[in-house]
Amino acid sequence: MPALSLGEDGESKLCQFVIDNVSDDIIACALDVDSIYSPELCLAFAMTLRLSIFELKGAALMPVLFVSNATQDLFYGYKYSPIILTRSIAVEIPDRAVAALSVMEPLNSVEYKTLFLDLIKVLPNATEGRHSLANQWGADVLHRIVLGPSTDNSLIQKARRSLYFRYILSLTLKVDDIEALAKGHDTIKSFERMAPIDAEGKKILLIDDEADKGWEDVLCRLLKGATFKTISEQTQDYKSLSDNARNEIERGNYDLIFLDLRMNGVSEESVLNPEDFSGMKILRAIKSLNKGTQVIMFTASNKAWNMKALLDSGADGYYIKESPEYVFPHSYSMSNACELLDSIKRCLNNGYLRDIFRKVKKIKELIEENKYFYVDKENDKTQEILSSIDIAFDLLSKSNNNSEYRSYAYLQLFLVIEEYVKLSSVFCEMYDSLYLCRDNNAQYCILKDKEVKGKSFSYNSVITMKSGTGHFVLEKGIYESRFLETNFLVSSLLIFKFSEENSSVYQWTKIYKVRNYAAHPKDAIITEEDFHRILTFMLYFFDPQNVKWRDPLQAFPRLSMADQLEQLKNKFNRR
């Protein structure tokens, strides 16, 4: 056995020595303590042997005899002294060593659990803080489940060679798992691998002050084909990040961001209020820039109120970094990893929400700046309309392809258009005619000569639907309906306010048809393309730079005062 100074590096070298030199055909181990001159090193060797069950299989259960002329008291007072009190460990003088070994038996799977693991406790090295340990352990657990036990990552390899990590990993084993390993099985059923995610062409950002503890490598391997960048700064909030880091977040257009809840190292170990964590502050800043940016939070806490706070602040998912301070059953680790993979897939599918939000934000700005829904202080529907748009985005972001949520989201957006064409400042009815208003003045007569026919009515119209196309054109005809349809009103605006040749601009006809599908939410299939289409139309429709009024002479002539009086007389005479 090599002469080693114990500590983090010494443990790592000792672990590698044990794995490299203890073969599965060795049935017992005798350590000449007096020749090694280090009871502490012998104890560490025995502990390393026992905790290397994943690599050594049954050999990790072999009897270990400390051969020394000294008494057992020589082995007390050291970090790993408790192993002396466990089964299949003994101290004997050289003359009796062979006889002692002949009667010693290896541990069985139950004894490994009850007469070894339950009797010892391995503590972490003092050089690592709790936050760092949680990061190293959490990355290793995820790596084992998703990518398998073997790794070429030097950081994870080093962590696995620490006795503390080996001890914690052994505590997760059930008796059946120990039995399987003792029989020499290369793998055990409970550690089956999960498939990595195809993320070809996706941009991923990891924000973690300790990304170098293994998370960067694990996530890169987990998301196959993704372009991956990392921000690994310690910070107390978003403003404290470097200019380069903020620029990366704001301009990187990432499909998914992984964000650690604690970005300020050991200084946050005493923080209790989830709102005060640095990662929470960064999350709120990211969502204020674009609510559609997909963010999965990493946290070492599994407290329900922390999870609720994360989701309330806009997190699109979370992954609980398993801490070595708490021994989780492997079933929990599998469930935790499955939830992470599901969250990642959902977030990647929802990447389109970034572009949706940009359009939503611009539409809200146009509506607010141009006061489209403001009549007077008593009749200001602006906030109501903006709320409808917010509701639409929230429904869409939570839909996860739920057809009803998507339908309701689409209807909320369409409602904004419907409410606009209902405004008296846009259209007004006068003397059996319908006028399109410009600057609050009725200037364009679109419909005239109203005739009531039972529950419906008819007008002479200045626009008509072109047969076989579904859109309106500037051509006189008859308009019949039971009410003034949104399609007709919007088409009138497109033709007269925007000087379009017909109402098919920006696929308005398709938008109106989709609206009718959405009115039956259980059967409707509203696609991402449908949302982009209606939002693109709204950007055009509410942007004053696109307004180009036609000559009013292309509408019906406005009625003279005498004609208006004549219409009134005829109206009352009919009654």
Has residue 412 been placed in a domain? no
Q: How many domains does the chain have?
A: 4
What gap in Å lies between CA 40 and CA 42, rounded to an integer? Answer: 5
Residues 188-218 pLDDT 10s:
444 456 778 999 999 999 999 888 778 888 8
Same domain assignment for residues 282 and 336: yes
Find the mean pLDDT for residues 449-467: 93
Residue 20: is its pLDDT beyond 60? yes
Has residue 410 been placed in a domain? no
Residue 571: is its pLDDT beyond 70? no
Has residue 24 been placed in a domain? yes
| Residue 403 burial class via C-beta count within 10 angstroms: exposed 0-12, middle 13-18, buried 19 and up | middle
Give the per-residue pLDDT at 190.
44
Give the per-residue pLDDT at 332.
84
Residue 2: is its pLDDT beyond 70? no
Instruction: Please give the residue range of the domain that contains residue 64.
Output: 8-115
Same domain assignment for residues 564 and 521: yes
Same domain assignment for residues 103 and 148: no
Residues 400-417 pLDDT 10s:
878 999 999 999 999 999
Find the mean pLDDT for residues 276-289: 94
Residues 21-74 pLDDT 10s:
999 889 999 999 998 878 999 999 999 999 999 999 999 999 999 999 998 999
Same domain assignment for residues 169 and 111: no
Residue 144: is its pLDDT beyond 70? yes
Contact 89, 46 (CB under 8 A): yes
Position with higher pLDDT, 135 vs 14: 14
* Alpha helix ranges (H) inside 381-527: 382-399, 403-421, 486-496, 508-518
Residue 99: is its pLDDT beyond 90? yes
Residue 227: is its pLDDT beyond 50? yes
Has residue 400 been placed in a domain? no
- Residue 270's pLDDT band, with cuts at 50, 70 and 90, is confident
Q: How crowded is the C-beta side of 231, counted as CA atoms within 13 Å?
A: 28
Length of the chain: 575
Q: State which of 87, 115, 143 marks the end of a domain.
A: 115
Find the mean pLDDT for residues 444-454: 93
Q: State which of 88, 115, 142 marks the end of a domain.
A: 115
Give the per-residue pLDDT at 140.
82
Find the mean pLDDT for residues 122-147: 75
Same domain assignment for residues 159 and 55: no
Same domain assignment for residues 53 and 146: no
Q: Percent of the chain beyond pLDDT 70?
A: 92
**How many C-beta atoms surround the C-beta of residue 557 within 10 A?**
10
Give the per-residue pLDDT at 143.
83
Same domain assignment for residues 548 and 462: yes
Which DSSP letter does residue 559 get? P
Of the candidates 146, 148, 159, 138, the residue with the CA atom closest to the CA atom of residue 298: 138
Find the mean pLDDT for residues 97-121: 95
**pTM: predicted TM-score of the whole model, two decimal places:** 0.81
Q: Name the residue with tokens 């192993």.
A: 83
Position with higher pLDDT, 300 vs 23: 23
Of the candidates 88, 15, 114, the residue with the CA atom closest to the CA atom of residue 55: 15
- Residue 568's pLDDT band, with cuts at 50, 70 and 90, is low
User: How is residue 369 written in tokens?
Assistant: 């700046």
* Partners of 457 in beta bridges: 452, 481
Same domain assignment for residues 204 and 304: yes
Residues 347-367 pLDDT 10s:
999 999 999 999 999 999 999
Hey, what amino acid is at 302?
N
What gap in Å lies between CA 27 and CA 40, rounded to an integer? Answer: 23
- Residue 6's pLDDT band, with cuts at 50, 70 and 90, is low
Has residue 398 been placed in a domain? no
Same domain assignment for residues 432 and 561: yes
- Residue 569's pLDDT band, with cuts at 50, 70 and 90, is low
Has residue 469 been placed in a domain? yes
Of the candidates 287, 307, 310, 256, the residue with the CA atom closest to the CA atom of residue 393: 287
Q: In whole numbers, what is the pLDDT of the chain averaged over residues?
A: 89
CA distances from 559 to 388, 556, 565 (A): 38, 9, 10
Q: Which CATH number characterizes residue 220's domain?
A: 3.40.50.2300
Same domain assignment for residues 177 and 266: no
Has residue 422 been placed in a domain? no
Q: Percent of the chain beyond pLDDT 90?
A: 64
Contact 531, 409 (CB under 8 A): yes
Find the mean pLDDT for residues 120-128: 77
Same domain assignment for residues 431 and 546: yes
Same domain assignment for residues 68 and 163: no
Q: Name the residue with tokens 């008291």.
A: 73
Has residue 360 been placed in a domain? no
